[in-house]
Every structure is written in C-alpha cells, then in structure tokens.
Structure 1
Amino acid sequence: MIGPPPPGATAVRLLSVKSLSELSATSKILHLIRHAEGTHNLCEIESKKPIHHDAKLTTKGKDQCFNLSSKTRSLAVEAVLVSPTTRCLETATLSFQHCIDQIGTPDVPFIAYEEWRETVNYLCDSRRSIDALKTEFRHVDFQFVTDNHDPLWHKYEEQFGSHTDHTTLRESNDPSGLYNRAHSAWRILLSRPERELALVGHSAFFMHMFTPLFDELEGLVSYEDSIVEEIMRDRFDNCELRTVVVDQP
C-alpha cells in the first residue's frame, strides 16, 4: 500500500536536455511517455463503463507504439519505469521491443511502480491483479508493487463507494493523497542508480505535477526557464515522448 512519503521535502527541477557529461552528479535524463491510445480514450462517457477496467490499447494505440519505437531505438536508456496498468505496460513493451530478446528477456530492466499510476477516478484507472499482469508481462519486474490487488482503487472505493454509486472524480478530489503519491513517485525516481531513464505513465498524473492543479503540489516541480515550463505544462498526447533533465534544486 502506498503511504505517506518519507520525512523531508521532495522537490525536482526540470531543465532542457544536455549531454550527460555536462550534468551534475545528481542529474538524470528522463524520457517521459504517456501511454498510447487505450479503449477508454475513444469516448469519455464510455470510459467509465466496466468494460474498460484496466483499459488496454486499441489497434491505433499499438501502431502509435510501433511509430514511437523508431525514436526509442536511439535512446540510451538504462531502465524503463512503468505504471502497472495494462495500457502503460503494453506501451512500454511495444515501444521498447528492441530491448527484449526473442525469448522475452529484457536487455534493460522494466520496473513497475504503483506510485506512477494514473489518478484513480474511474474503473479504467484501476488495475488487474499483479498475478494476472505477471503472466502477461513476464519481462517486467513487479517486486516494488507490494499489493496483489489494487490498493488505490480499494482505498477510494471505501471512501466514495462503488463505480455505480459514485460516478465522478475520486483521487483528483484528494489533494493530500496526490501530494503523498507525487512526492513518493519523485523520490523513487531520484533514488534510482541509472542516469538515463524512460518513464511510461499517464497524462492526468503528469498534469497534476507539472501544472499543478492543487496548492498542495506547488513547489514540487520547478523549471529552468519559461520554455521548459511551457512544454511540460501542456497536456501530453497519447504516446507522446518528452525528454527533460531532472535535478534537485
């Protein structure tokens, strides 16, 4: 279960891309990718229906990943971090297929983190059990996802009711919960030993951090200049890749 972040403030600064030789010892190159088109993206009203529980990619979404893979081949990523939702796991797998050999063994680690999930509002934002996901995505390391069943959906179902009883926002109406998760997410990324990482995640969670949408998240992310800020505050398209340098101010 995701709990409060460790004591002490977490803050990150996003900078334009430079070569690793020009970066500080604590800097990382981060390739942020929003998942490709999922079934829930086809129609906003339809997205709340049970059929889109842990939504999968559409045929168009898979094609988007194929197109993105022509760019990811040139990236020197040392690890791929990914939200443990099916659409993100599929996006990571298809976009970095060149990092997985013919028998399914990855050349770089693919690591799932609950902390980088989408804001949990509707059934499409909930996930399947880790047992089920492990069967489908054998190349992904799920050791840091400690709950087999979805703890975030369970938390907000207890707080707001079932998907039929409560049909509006859940986690997006919980600033303190998002504060804890966003800080934990950045702490995890900063603690990784790799200098160049890919991260496959979700647009709303990205927006909460980069815009931000709540006062509680003010100061979590700062920017080198207005150009970087404008780029990162804009909404991510499906399967869009943005590259920044992450450092601690």
Structure 2
Amino acid sequence: MPKIVHCIRHGQSTFNAHFAETGEDPMHFDAPLTELGLRQVTERAQELRRHPYELVITTPLTRAIQTTLGLFGDHPAAPPIHVECLHREHLASSCDVGRAPAQLMRDFPHLSFEHLAEVWWHHEGEMDPRGFVCEPGHIFEGRVNEFRRWLVERPERMIAVVGHGTFFGQLTGQYLGNCEVAVLEL
C-alpha cells in the first residue's frame, strides 16, 4: 500500500499580498496570514475533513502554523501535529526568516518547539543588503531530498504536510497556489 502525502501550501500571507501588488519584498519577517488567507484556510478545511490523516506536519513559520491550526484544529481524525523545520521555505525573502522557539511557544503554546535549534532557518553565509542570509540552491535541494527520505521512513500511511510554494514545487514538481493541495505517493 503506498504512502499518501497531501502537500498543502499555506494561505495568503501579508508578504504574498504585498509582493503580488508591488513585486517588492515588504520586509515582513515570518509573515502571518491575511484575512483572505484565513478565509482560504476555512474553505479548504471542509474538504480535508474527509481524509483520515494519521499525522500532520507543519513548518515553524507562522503562516504555516496558522494554516495548520485552521485546517486541522477540529479535524475528526484528531491527527497529532508535528512541527518540523526540514521542509521550511527556501530562504530568499524576508518572510522566510523565522522566529526563535521561545517566541513561537508564546504564540502557539499547545505545540512543541523544544526540539528546534534557536535559529532553525538558514543563516550561514554572507548577509545580503536586506539583513538576512539567502539559502544557496544546492543546500535547498539537499534539504528537499532529505525531507523526502524522512517522509518515506515515517510509519504513517496518510500524512498531511503544511508548507510552502517553492519547497513543494521542488518536492512535487507542481507549484501550488495558496491553500492548494498536491498529492504525493511514496
């Protein structure tokens, strides 16, 4: 029996809304969802209720956590939610810079962040003029492959993964819109 993974991109973030209008990075670090993003999550949640997920995996970026809680907070299967930084977004914009686990715990006290490093996003290398370090392509590609292997090794057969557009594009070959779902069979 194949392992089924639903890759779900987060709802619209403040970064997404600003970038769509201007084409410029608005410097929204760890951007949260917009009102539209919250509505997208509510609409998608109804469709996902019919799937018997055994595990939900989310990145520690706020927009993904908000999406995860909106989609699965009252899911009938009550799948456990695991926070994992391996499938975080490719760090190329301000919204992809995360926050320390202690800050995340204050905002989302019912989730576990203790296993994360203090700085769990890419931070090695030269800082760009915007004030953060962009992730080189080869490191990003290696991380995508590592996450795929990590998923394969998981015992669960039905998994929901909430994450990000560029990462899922590399993982599935399909670029997802906000709150869109791609099915990956492993």
Same fold (TM over 0.5): yes
Deviation per residue, 1:4-29 (Å, 9 max, x gap) = xxxxxxxxxxxxxxxxxxx2xxx311
After TM superposition, give the deviation of residue 125 of structure 1 in Å. 0.6
RMSD of aligned C-alpha atoms? Answer: 2.2
Distance, in Å, in 2 between the alignment partners of 1:162 and 1:64 is: 33
Q: Does the Cα contact within 8 Å between 2:90 and 2:96 map onto a contact in 1?
A: yes
After TM superposition, give the deviation of residue 179 of structure 1 in Å. 2.7
Q: Which amino acid aligns with 1:209?
A: L
Q: Note if 1:240 corresponds to 2:157.
A: no
Alignment of 1:8-23 (within 5 A): 23=1
SS of residue paired to 1:48? coil
Q: Does the Cα contact within 8 Å between 1:38 and 1:61 map onto a contact in 2?
A: yes
Distance, in Å, in 2 between the alignment partners of 1:161 and 1:46 is: 21
Q: Note if 1:148 corresponds to 2:124.
A: no
Question: 2:17 pairs with 25, 42, 46, which one?
Answer: 42
Q: Which amino acid aligns with 1:125?
A: D
Q: Which amino acid aligns with 1:170?
A: C
After TM superposition, give the deviation of residue 87 of structure 1 in Å. 0.3
Aligned in 2, Cα 1:143/1:204: closer, same or farther, shift over 3 Å? same
The count of residues paired between Structure 1 and Structure 2 equals: 184
Deviation per residue, 1:69-103 (Å, 9 max, x gap) = 10111110011001110000000000112149xxx
Which aligned segments of 4 or more residues in structure 1 are displaced greater than 3 angstroms? none
Q: Does the Cα contact within 8 Å between 1:109 and 1:141 map onto a contact in 2?
A: no
Q: Note if 1:117 corresponds to 2:57.
A: no
Aligned in 2, Cα 1:164/1:242: closer, same or farther, shift over 3 Å? closer
Q: Which residue of 2 aligns with 1:33?
A: 8
Deviation per residue, 1:29-73 (Å, 9 max, x gap) = 1111000000001122476233x1000000010011111110111
Q: Which residue of 2 aligns with 1:182?
A: 144
Q: Which amino acid aligns with 1:240?
A: E
Q: Which amino acid aligns with 1:127?
A: G
Q: Note if 1:198 corresponds to 2:156.
A: no
Deviation per residue, 1:126-173 (Å, 9 max, x gap) = 11111111222233233542x123441x22xxx23144368xx932xx
Question: 2:100 pairs with 129, 132, 139, which one?
Answer: 129
Q: Which amino acid aligns with 1:87?
A: R
TM-score (norm 1): 0.67
Aligned in 2, Cα 1:151/1:66: closer, same or farther, shift over 3 Å? closer
Structure 2's unaligned 5+ residue stretches are: none
TM-score (norm 2): 0.88
Q: Which amino acid aligns with 1:63?
A: R
Distance, in Å, in 1 between the alignment partners of 2:120 and 2:155 is: 28
Aligned in 2, Cα 1:185/1:242: closer, same or farther, shift over 3 Å? same
Q: Does the Cα contact within 8 Å between 1:41 and 1:47 map onto a contact in 2?
A: no
Q: Does the Cα contact within 8 Å between 2:101 and 2:114 map onto a contact in 1?
A: no
Q: Which residue of 2 aligns with 1:73?
A: 49
Q: Structure 1 vs Structure 2: percent identity of aligned residues? A: 28
Q: Which amino acid aligns with 1:73?
A: R
Q: Which residue of 1 aligns with 2:32?
A: 56
Q: Does the Cα contact within 8 Å between 1:122 and 1:163 map onto a contact in 2?
A: no
Aligned in 2, Cα 1:108/1:139: closer, same or farther, shift over 3 Å? farther
